Amino acid sequence: MALVLDEHPHRRYNPLTREWILVSPHRAKRPWQGQTETPPRDDRPIYDPTCYLCPGNIRANGQHNPQYESTYVFDNDFPALLPDIPSDDYQPNPLLRAQSERGLARVVCFTPRHDLTLAEMDTPTIRHVVDAWVEQYADIGQRPFIGYVQVFENRGAMMGASNPHPHGQIWASEHLPQQVALEDDTQREYWQQHGVSLLSDYLAQEQALGERIVYQNDSFMVLVPFWAVWPFETMLISKRHISAMADLSDDERNGLADALRNVTVRYDNLFSVSFPYSMGFHPRPVSQGEWSHWHLHAHFYPPLLRSATVRKFMVGYELLGTPQRDITPEQAAQRLREQSDVHYRAKR
Ligand code: H2U
Ligand code: ZN
């Protein structure tokens, strides 16, 4: 008997990380008696005098933000990584191993408007954020001790964001972060074996099948990857095989802004809530090296499962064994694809 992906329990392989994930499609039909609730109101003002990210306000360390009018970047006042530390190893024994990790951290305020999110910003405004990210890669990437620049956004209290003002972060480190090192290895191996990038071949497959595509324009495809772990996890993949943010053409920067708007609006519309997520970009490392196997992409990892408050937990079997999901990536993609590209709050 043949394996039917929307019926039989199975595991799926993630070729970017060499990890497996368990899919239990038969369970998505089980009755649910959890709560349903009306979405929370969001009455944030355009400017909040108590917000440490709004223009003109005082931050926690006493510094003043300028009266910024577009995207604004500053050095994180509480950085997880520091540039000026001794470069050293600690290894009294092979089982006790540590390495110094030099780096830096910055905060990116997407817009002066306290009341917006990426989902509610228009494409030209998101384009300013894209331009700021490209500038940051150039600026941070030229520092000799930096190996990788990780741009990311934690959106919403559920994902640990400390402030609703639309902002993201940049952490840059000497070594490749864990996920990046895995993706570097698999993309390099694929490139060496096939002479084409792993994600170019993957895009061609998804384009032909269509069932996991959420949205696409000339420059980017948004899809729920075949191996998605989070219920509504997506990837944004550059249609052209480019490796760095600096490789984006003018049109592609607009295409990226448009794709970001489209995926975040659909997320918000799904449960009529400002959809929480962690997202971030995976371009090539910035250190010297052969990186042509890298294919620029972004990941969105949203925790919500069933409603504005019912989230997926990574617990039990998933912590001790393997991540698992019920709703299939194909079902998730269909639900996101069906959402309007007009924000639910704009329609009121
Ligand atoms: P999150 O909301 O994703 O935690 O990001 C806020 C970041 O802003 C956080 O890393 C920094 C915190 O260190 N921050 C400042 O740099 N200055 C402040 O005045 C408060 C917060
Ligand atoms: Zn603010």
Annotated active-site residue 26? The verdict is: no
User: Which pLDDT belongs to residue 5?
Assistant: 96
Average pLDDT value for residue range 308-337:
96
**Would residue 210 count as lying in a domain?**
yes
Assess contact for 109 and 56: CB atoms under 8 A: no
Q: Which of 41-50, 68-77, 151-160, 277-286 has the lowest mean pLDDT?
A: 41-50
Ligand nearest to the CA of 277: 1
User: Which pLDDT belongs to residue 38?
Assistant: 63
Q: Does residue 161 carry a pLDDT above 60?
A: yes
Long-range contacts made by residues 201-204, C-beta under 8 angstroms, separation at least 24?
Answer: 202/15, 202/237, 203/237, 203/239
**Would residue 21 count as lying in a domain?**
no
Q: Does residue 37 carry a pLDDT above 90?
A: no
Assess contact for 174 and 146: CB atoms under 8 A: yes
User: Which pLDDT belongs to residue 18?
Assistant: 98
E strands in 122-257? 148-155, 167-173, 213-216, 220-223, 234-238
**Would residue 40 count as lying in a domain?**
no
Average pLDDT value for residue range 166-179:
98
- Tens-digit pLDDT profile for residues 282-313: 999 999 999 999 999 999 999 999 999 999 99
Residue 105: give its domain's CATH number: 3.30.428.10
Output the average pLDDT for the chain.
Answer: 95
**Would residue 17 count as lying in a domain?**
no
Considering its fold, how many domains does the chain have in total? 1
- 215 CA distance to ligand 2 centroid (A)? 30
- Tens-digit pLDDT profile for residues 7-27: 999 999 999 999 999 999 998
Q: Does residue 196 carry a pLDDT above 90?
A: yes
Residues lining ligand 1, Cβ inside 6 A: 52, 59-61, 76-78, 107, 154, 161-163, 169
**Would residue 132 count as lying in a domain?**
yes
**Would residue 66 count as lying in a domain?**
yes
Domain range for residue 312?
Answer: 45-347
Nearest residue to 296 via CA among 195, 164, 192, 203 = 203
Catalytic pick among 114, 165, 167, 295:
167
**Would residue 56 count as lying in a domain?**
yes
Q: Does residue 258 carry a pLDDT above 70?
A: yes
User: Which pLDDT belongs to residue 239?
Assistant: 98
**Would residue 5 count as lying in a domain?**
no
Mutate to test the pocket of ligand 1, among 54, 75, 77 (most ligand atoms within 8 A of CB): 77
- 85 CA distance to ligand 1 centroid (A)? 22
Position 80: which residue type?
A
Mutate to test the pocket of ligand 1, among 61, 75, 76, 108 (most ligand atoms within 8 A of CB): 76
